[in-house]
Each structure stands twice: as structure tokens, then as C-alpha cells.
Structure 1
Amino acid sequence: MSYVKPTELVQTVIDAGASKVMLSTRDTLIRSIMGGAVLTIAAAFAVTITVTTGMPLLGAVLFPIGFIMLYLLGYDLLTGVFVLAPLAWLDRRPGVTLGGILRNWGLVFLGNFIGAFTVAVLMAIVVTYGFSTPPNEVGQAIGHIGEGRTVGYAEHGAAGMLTLFVRGVLCNWMVATGVVLAMISKDVIGKIFAMWMPIMLFFFMGFEHSIVNMFLFPSGLLLGGDFTIMDYLIWNEIPTVLGNLVGGLVFVAIPLYFTYGRPTSPRRVRAPKRTRATGATEPAAAEPATARV
């Protein structure tokens, strides 16, 4: 059967999380570099569609192409391992430690940034003819995105920071759902359709994705956007990463694990006892099963 039921799905997700934590440094970096690059070239694609057609919805509909390609190829995103690795730790998989999870997150963050920044430089070359002309329409749009999502939040102070954080939370609720849904079908068409839905939603709603932003903001700086590196870090990347972490854990990993992933111990059977009158034995009584913590 193509459809994977939630109980089986969660075990598959846990297996994937354990394998991510145990992956070698070399393979983790390669897969995360390529994951960041594929996702962000799709972000450039979506911005290009929006600018050239004037239809943001069409850009959102087609953006999931990048997410789908990278997960079908087994590449990694920080927003994905924010969910996969903790599930393996909650399940007490051998070798999965908090130190191993933090190592995995750090390597994936680094790899995603390398991939995203590489695409940012390549796209800046494309939209400026090798920095020999001012940015074209697409380049100008990317620069303005960087301004709106840094200085724009800063103008609102604490309320802007709260909004930024919540957009990061909502983003990875959807993205992490897409990561999990990638495993809910055993055929390619089913995987594609399942992943498409939440990714399209997050992109059109303008939620904040830390890896996409690793492309948009360096691109904006390269293309003359009116903001600084510190604006990018303080008023976008750092709060977005934290929001993505909270969203993935609170809205995806923890609910799935505690409703579908916690196995129960076998029912213990009490020894039979004799009745006083006949000396016969009563049927054994089973103790209630207890959930493993």
C-alpha cells in the first residue's frame, strides 16, 4: 500500500533522525550544501516568476519544486533536522546524544549557508551581467525583500521582533510537516503531492525560513540593498532560526511522538493464585501496560 499510516510513519521519521545524527561530517556537509543550494535556486525561481508575471501566487505554487528535488535526493535542511534528530533522541536510539544532535545542527547550518551563499553570488552575477550593470528587475526585487525583512521589522521594535519570531515558528510548522510528509507515501507521485501542500502555504504566507533567508539577504547586500550584515543577523537570521526550531519541535516533533511514537511495554502477567475453597488456580490477571518514558 502506498499510504504509510501515522504509527509506521513516525518510526520511519525516527529512523531517519538517527541516521542523520550518525552521518559522517563529510556526508553531512555535502548533503547540506546541496540542500541549501537547491532550495535557494528555487527561491530565486519563485522571485523571478513573481516579478515577471506579477502573480505572487504562481511563484508560491512553483517554489516547492526546489524542496521536492532536494528531499527526493536525500539532501538536508536545518529546518528538517530540527525535527528529525530530536525525535531519535526522544526515542532513545543508541548513539543519539544531545552532543551529537548539536553537532548535526551546526554542520547542517554551515553547509546550508555555504550552498545558499554560493547561489546568492551566482544569481548576483546573472542579474548584473557580472556586476557590470545595475541589477535588473529581479535583482532589485531581491534587494527590497532584504530591506523589508530587516529594517522593516526593526522599525516596529519589540513588536517587530515578536512578529519575526512568530513567522519563523509558523514557517517551520509547515516546512517540518513537509519533511515528515515526504515519508508518508511509498511512491514518488505521492511524496511530491504531500510535500507540495505545506511548502506552498508557507511561501505564499510570507513566513520566515532561515535557509531561504541565507540566500535573500546576502543577495540583497550584493545587489545594493539598504541594510547591514548586523541588521540581517539581529533582525532576521538569529530570531528566524530560533523560531524555526520552536515551530518544528512544538508543532510537529512533539505531537507526533507523544501520540504515535511512544511504544508501550508488554503487558506483565501476574502469577496465578490459588483459591481457598478448591485449590484451583484463578486465571492470570494482566497488569495495565505502561508507556515508556
Structure 2
Amino acid sequence: MEKRYLLPPQVANATIKSGVAKANLPISRIIFLAIFAGMFIGFGAYGDIVIMQTLKNIDVGVMKFFGASVFPIGLMLVVMAGGELFTGNNLMTLALMDKKITLNGLLKNWIFVYIGNFIGSFLLALVIYKTGLLKDAAADLSLGIAKGKVGLTFEVAFYRGILCNILVVLAVWMATAAQDIVSKIFACWFPVMLFVLSGYEHSVANMFFLPMGKLLGLSITWGEIWFNNIIPVTIGNIVGGGIIVPLVYYICYVKPFKEKENVNKDKVLTK
């Protein structure tokens, strides 16, 4: 029977190859794909708001679950339709640890992807606002979400960002392991659903939620949007998705094989 998934060491190698490809993308492609990814995450965030508005007066847990159930469409679109997402690209540090890319290559991708993600998220928020679709209960809910996010302390936003991106990069990891589209959908759905249901913080999603709140009239400044939420969440996302998960998997799935290869090379050279 044909095996329809990759084993963890194979996923690690595929992730490293992907990191090399991402580090060598031209800036124009990075920007366009990142704008798309920001919009994709925004579509999921908007769906989250729409479905939760109908349930907020019934049961909070049910409301969060149904909202969380539609949010993962954003990552599915990124993974399967194509996009450059900052939080997912945090896994590029695996290629950096393996010395397959340089720090400059990593930072070039991250910086331009981050900028593109913000442009895409904000543009989608602006267009949806202009449609007039977000009103009444949906508008109230959107305002409440934005107000709650800017009200977080730096520490709380940071730790929620860590937990969020551990799950997001694990979703990307499992989607890489999956070898057919249905498996990739499920690989994306469960971890992302869980992070939304749990109340963790995703920097790119917040690039949609917070500007939308401001557009709807919430009295917040751009400084509060960035310094109260997006910046600490971004740092947390990097720690969770760019350090914790890649470091553990490098130690477990990459380093042992490299050491074995070096031993074998030494044996060949001594013959």
C-alpha cells in the first residue's frame, strides 16, 4: 500500500529545502505572495467574526468553536493556493540552523513577507469595511475583539503569541507531511482551530482584526495597535515558531543524521 505521508525526518528535509527556496525568492514575488497570504488570513478572520456574531448570546464555548472552525481556511489557502505567511515562514530557521541559508536571506524574507502580510490584511479589512457588510452584531463583536486585543499586557500578548505559533508551524509541518489535498486540509484545520479556540494571538490575523476595529470607530491609535499587541505578539510568534519547534526538530531529526553522515565520510576518507 502506498504511503501517503512523510516521516518526521523527511518533513525536516522538505522544510529545509523550502526554507532555501524562500530565502532565494526575488523581493517582488515575496511581496505579491505575502499580500495574498495576508488577505487569505483576513478572509478566515472575517468568517470567524460572521459566524460568532450569531452565537455570542447562546454559549461562549460554542461561539468560539464555530468561529475557530472556519478560521483555518486562511492557512489552507496559503499552503495549497500559494502564499508567503510570516508565521509559517518562521520555520525557515531550521534551514538556518542547518547552514543552508544565511541570516541575511532569512531576514530578507521575513521583513518583506511581514510588510506584505500587513498590506494584504489591511487592504482586505478596508474593502470589507467599504462593503458595509460588517454591521450590527458583527460590528459590535469586531469592536470587542479589537478592544480586547489592545487591552492585553505586553507579557500576556507575548506568551499567547508563543503558544499560537507553536500550533501554526506544527500545522505547516503536518501539511508538509501530507501528500494529498484532503490530508493537507485536515493537517491545517486541527492545530489552527485549536489555537483560535484557545484564545492565542496570531500577528497576521491581528493585522486584520485591529485595523478593522479602528475603521469601525474604536478609539485606538496606530501606536496602541502596534505596541500593545502586534509587536509583542510577533516576538512571541518568532519564539514559538522560529525557535522552540525548529530547535527541537533540528536536534531530533536533522543533527543526528548530519553527524552520521560526517562519521561515514570520515570512514571513507580514512580508507
Matches within 5 A, 1:1-293: 1-54=3-56, 55-83=63-91, 85-93=92-100, 96-127=101-132, 135-150=135-150, 152-153=151-152, 160-262=153-255, 263-264=258-259, 265-267=262-264, 268-269=266-267
Change (3 A) 1:271 1:43: closer
Judged with a 3 Å threshold, the aligned counterparts in structure 2 of structure 1 residues 271 and 30 are, in CA distance, closer, same or farther, namely: closer
Aligned-residue RMSD, C-alpha: 1.8
Name the CA distance, whole Å, in 1 between partners of 2:166 and 2:128. Answer: 29
**Kindly, what percent of the aligned residue pairs are identical?**
33
Query: Is the Cα–Cα contact under 8 Å of residues 169 and 244 in structure 1 kept in the other structure?
Result: yes
- TM superposition score normalised by structure 2: 0.90
Give the distance between the partners of 2:198 and 2:10, measured in 1 at CA. Answer: 31
Matches of 2:136 and 2:48, distance apart in 1: 16
| Structure 1, unaligned runs of 5 or more | 130-134, 154-159, 273-283, 285-293
Q: Answer with 1 or 2: which has the greater Rg.
A: 1
Deviation, 1:191, is: 1.2
Contact 1:146–1:227 (CA under 8 A) maintained in structure 2: no
Q: Deviations over 1:83-107 (max 9, x none)?
A: 1x211111111xx211111111110
Deviation at 1:270, TM superposition (A): 9.4
**Do the aligned residues in 2 keep the contact of 1:173 with 1:248 (CA within 8 Å)?**
yes
Please give the alpha-carbon distance, in whole angstroms, between the structure 2 residues aligned to 1:270 and 1:74. Answer: 43
Deviation sequence 1:108-157 (CA, Å, 0-9, x none)? 0111011000111011112368xxxxx4221221122111111x22xxxx
Instruction: Give the residue type in structure 2 aligned to 1:111.
Output: G
Question: Which has the bigger relative contact order, CA under 8 A and spacing at least 6?
Answer: 2
SS in 2 for 1:53: coil
What is the letter of the counterpart of residue 24 of structure 1?
P
Superposed displacement of residue 249, structure 1 = 2.5
Matched residue of 2:82: which SS? Answer: coil
Matched positions, count:
258
Q: Tell me the TM-score normalized by structure 1.
A: 0.84
Letter in 1 for 2:50: T
Distance 1:207 1:217 in 2: 15
- My pick for the range that moved more, 119-128 or 56-65, is 119-128
* d(CA) in 2 for partners of 1:270, 1:250: 35
